[in-house]
Structure 1
Amino acid sequence: MASTLRVLGIDPGLTRCGVGIVDVAPDRSAALVHLGVVRSAPGDPIEGRLAAVARGLRSLLEEHEPHVVAVERVFAQQNRHTVIGTAQASGVALLLAAERGLPAALHTPTEVKAAITGYGAADKRQVQTMVARILRLDTLPRPADAADALALALCHAWRGGTATAPTAPLTPAQRAWTDAERAARR
């Protein structure tokens, strides 16, 4: 019998690094394990901020023992300073996964939105609403960084993940996402 896949999703950032952990069963149902944000003080030196992110992520890896780590792929942003910090936090997350021997994957925001809502240009509220439905939560997951991390984790698991890939038929949103990916490759 197949077991669940535990995925740590990370929405990287220096000030607020969103984290979300889900267990996804072979039938694609999912359960919330952890939701939160790892913070660092904006006034601290960069090395201290990266160390704070590393401490927070390391603690989650030790406590929850995920099977795989999914990180949001850094993309071009208007603010060069913000993208550099995001890339640095992403590097810390990928390094920590490698140190533990965990597979890691990168997913774009558009890919995550399409997987969760069926629409690659969905807004944050739409993503939060769908994550709440999927995880059967009474309220929208907050803050937005943590909700994005949960969406990353779900996207990765539904995409096939590693370890135990879900085997149930695709949901309508997942079918739309898969069709869009296939069309983009042509």
Structure 2
Amino acid sequence: MRILGLDPGIATLGFGVIDVNQGNLPELLDVGVIQTPKKTPMGDRLKIIYEDMHVVLTQWQPQLVGMEKLFFYRMGNLISVAQARGVILLTLSQHGIAPEEFSPPQIKQALTGYGNADKSDVHGAVMRELNLSAPIKPDDASDALAIALTCWMFNPM
């Protein structure tokens, strides 16, 4: 089962792709970010996200997609993050995928057993689950892998 995790954002959108094999062990396939330049007009930033999401979806063809719910953001970022999420949802729909959405406490609970865990605890859990020797940077990419792992935990094979 191939799973794509997405951590939506307008400046930086994290993505992580894992495969879960018959032994039910997750394997890291790809991780990264889609970035949009700050001074670029909003429409152009959304277009970058749209086009890059098509590339990721076409390249990896996930069976499941997990995405962070719009949970809590500074008011100044709320509208732009919501716009980015709209573009992501449109792109997923064009690929015939309905994402599963998880709140930050659900992700923390799934990975650490504690819904108020620190970000460092979540990143440590990502490292353990994927047998990584170093943390994934930037945080948006690591968060996307946490979301992919959460999606796997909610959808065992």
Gap change, CA 1:111 and 1:14, over 3 Å in 2:
same
1:109-152 alpha-carbon deviations (Å, 9 max, x no partner): 11011101111111111111110110011111111100010010
TM-score, normalised to structure 1, is 0.80
Give the superposed CA RMSD: 1.2
Structure 2, unaligned runs of 5 or more = none
Within the candidate set 42, 52, 62, 1:66 is matched to: 62
Are 2:125 and 1:130 aligned? yes
- In structure 2, give the amino acid aligned to 1:70: G
- In structure 1, give the amino acid aligned to 2:128: R
CA distance in 2, matches of 1:76, 1:129: 23
Counterpart residue number, 1:146: 141
Which residues of 2 match residues 21-60 of structure 1 at below 5 A?
A: 21-60=17-56
CA distance in 1, matches of 2:58, 2:89: 15
Structure 1, unaligned runs of 5 or more = 167-186
Q: How many residues align?
A: 157
CA distance in 2, matches of 1:91, 1:24: 28
CA distance in 2, matches of 1:60, 1:40: 16
Between the aligned residues of both structures, percent identity stands at 34
TM-score, normalised to structure 2, is 0.95
Which residues of 2 match residues 64-103 of structure 1 at below 5 A?
A: 64-77=60-73, 79-103=74-98
